[in-house]
Amino acid sequence: MSIAFTEIQETIRMVQMESLDIRTVTLGINLHDCADSDFKKVKEKVYNKITSYAAKLKPVAEQVEKEYGIPIINKRIAITPIAEILGSATREQAVDLARTLDQAAKALEVDFIGGYSALVHKGISKGDQTLLDALPEALSVTERVCASVSIGTTRTGINMDAVGQLGKILKQTAEFTKEDNSIGCAKFVAFCNPVEDNPFMAGAFHGAGEGEAVLSVGVSGPGVVLNALKRYPNVDLGEVSDIIKKTAFKITRAGELLGREVAKRLDVPFGIMDLSLAPTNAMNDSVAEILEEIGLERVGTHGTIAALALMNDAVKKGGAMASSYVGGLSGAFIPVSEDNGMIKGIEDNALSLDKLEAMTCVCSVGLDMIAVTGDVTPETLAAMIADEAAIGMINKKTTAVRVIPVIGKSEGDTVEFGGLLGRAPVMGVNPYSSAKMIQRGGRIPAPLQALIN
């Protein structure tokens, strides 16, 4: 036997003690052929297509996880941005379609279906506007539908009219779901430079360049990286990078193997492997704790961005060699509510909103799962989105905003979202207004970085 016992033990330890798992297998499904002038037919076609294509997703993934002994935590579906098939549907019909998607997700027992989305980074079409208008209600009457809106790209600039609308949409969604800590906003993300094959929620959708159906995989594994680093407490940063690289390689290889097996059994092509370290609230499964292990007393202090840049880069280097098709967002996620270390950083006043914003310059994806005070104005929310979008636009990277203005809560409170979404300390925002800038509207022109031809 060519595999040593210590190697087998290492794999078992990673799974049982260090929370190694496959975070998600996400089946992307093209819905363009579901468009129809009769809206009843659209609903029917959408429901039938999703439930037939993904019928075996959950049982197959569960079988594979048993055979390989590595858990696949989430089985999810990404669909064509819904705005593209809305046509001349009304707002009410668009909300109705969200309900249909929710029913399909429940029937298939998948936890999220992503793609209630619109791409409006340059302009807003009729279908896009219908979707934007429907968003607050759609997010409040459904449980498993995730929505995203692209409001900027490096090649087009930032559509500030859309950004302005999103501020209002977020606030309204928060009001509609205020009984549940404004959880509707946790299922919505605003993107700059979105990717078409992202398997992670809430921002997954099946892009226009994708095929009929495709399976993409997102791995997890901050716990494994953290434990690997703990075994070498005194090595220099070059070696730290090397340890992360090697660990990321192993995690990615396991993910790719399982992903390919699930794809083969579902008879769909394997799409991409997303190399993101995705934290959970499980003990030690935290990106913040990796940064602290590198040598920070608490995440958020000086040096945080350097440590994060080192870690993110090492994960990519290790993962890129391990997988033949790397895609998606592929960078470290820093969701606050899903990462115990981040939560502690905020509670100890080490980590601020400004620092989180700066951190997004060197990692994917953006301000993620951050709870802010309920009395925040729509203009301030819009301006937060604009800031993140500008970081993404200039640096030619994906950035996103998933903030939750929690109605009725103020700075210092803590909110529970439950499940994978975790809990978050409510953060304050800058008290000065950005309203004038948002009211100006228009489009921020594409930057010089776009002129690369």
Partner 1 sequence: MQKRAVVTVVGKDQIGIIAKVTNVLADNRMNILDISQTILQDFFTMMMLVDMANISDLDHLLQDFKKVEQELGLTINIQREDVFQAMHRV
Is residue 410 within the footprint of partner 1 (CB under 8 A)?
no
Residues pairing with 371 in the sheet: 404
Choices 9-17, 50-58, 178-186, 213-221; region in contact with partner 1 by CB under 8 A: 9-17
Could you identify the residue written with the tokens 């193997």?
Answer: 257
Q: Using the rule CB under 8 A, which residue among 121, 144, 250, 344 binds partner 1?
A: 250
Please, which residue, 155 or 317, has the CB nearer to partner 1?
Answer: 317
In Å, how far from its chain's centre is CA 212?
22
Three-class SS state of 271: strand
Query: Do 215 and 28 touch, CB atoms closer than 8 A?
Result: yes
**What backbone torsions phi and psi does residue 102 show, to the nearest 5 degrees?**
-60, -45
Helix, strand, coil content of the chain in percent (nearest 5): 50, 20, 35
Please, which residue, 2 or 234, has the CB nearer to partner 1?
Answer: 2
Please, which residue, 66 or 440, has the CB nearer to partner 1?
Answer: 66
Please, which residue, 316 or 344, has the CB nearer to partner 1?
Answer: 316
Please, which residue, 7 or 92, has the CB nearer to partner 1?
Answer: 7
User: How many residues comprise the chain?
Assistant: 453
Taking the C-alpha atoms of residue 61 and residue 68, their distance in angstroms, rounded to an integer, is 11
Is residue 432 within the footprint of partner 1 (CB under 8 A)?
no
Please, which residue, 2 or 453, has the CB nearer to partner 1?
Answer: 2
Taking the C-alpha atoms of residue 34 and residue 81, their distance in angstroms, rounded to an integer, is 12
Is residue 123 within the footprint of partner 1 (CB under 8 A)?
no
Q: In the bound complex, what is the minimum distance in angstroms from residue 10's beta carbon to partner 1?
A: 8
Taking the C-alpha atoms of residue 439 and residue 378, their distance in angstroms, rounded to an integer, is 11
Please, which residue, 150 or 247, has the CB nearer to partner 1?
Answer: 247
Choices 39-47, 59-67, 166-174, 266-274; region in contact with partner 1 by CB under 8 A: 59-67
Residues pairing with 119 in the sheet: 150
DSSP letters spanning 146-159: EEEEEEEETTTEEE
- The DSSP symbol for 447 reads P
Is residue 208 within the footprint of partner 1 (CB under 8 A)?
no
Pairing mode of beta strands 443-444, 157-159? antiparallel
Torsion-angle region of 408 (φ positive above 0: left; ψ -120 to 50: alpha; else: beta): left
Residues in 70-89 that interact with partner 1 by CB under 8 A: 70
Is residue 242 within the footprint of partner 1 (CB under 8 A)?
no
Is residue 12 within the footprint of partner 1 (CB under 8 A)?
yes
Strands (E), 145-251: 145-153, 157-159, 188-192, 213-219
Q: Using the rule CB under 8 A, which residue among 51, 63, 281, 352 binds partner 1?
A: 63
Q: Using the rule CB under 8 A, which residue among 31, 204, 254, 363 binds partner 1?
A: 254
Is residue 21 within the footprint of partner 1 (CB under 8 A)?
no
* Total residues binding partner 1 (CB under 8 A): 23
Q: In the bound complex, what is the minimum distance in angstroms from residue 16's beta carbon to partner 1?
A: 8
Choices 246-254, 308-316, 347-355, 429-437; region in contact with partner 1 by CB under 8 A: 246-254
Please, which residue, 62 or 180, has the CB nearer to partner 1?
Answer: 62
Picking from 231, 342, 233, 224, the residue whose alpha carbon sits closest to that of residue 281 is: 342
Residues in 353-382 that interact with partner 1 by CB under 8 A: none
Torsion-angle region of 418 (φ positive above 0: left; ψ -120 to 50: alpha; else: beta): left
Please, which residue, 5 or 432, has the CB nearer to partner 1?
Answer: 5
Please report, as ranges, the residues that interact with partner 1 according to CB under 8 A: 1-5, 7-12, 63, 66-70, 250, 253-254, 256-258
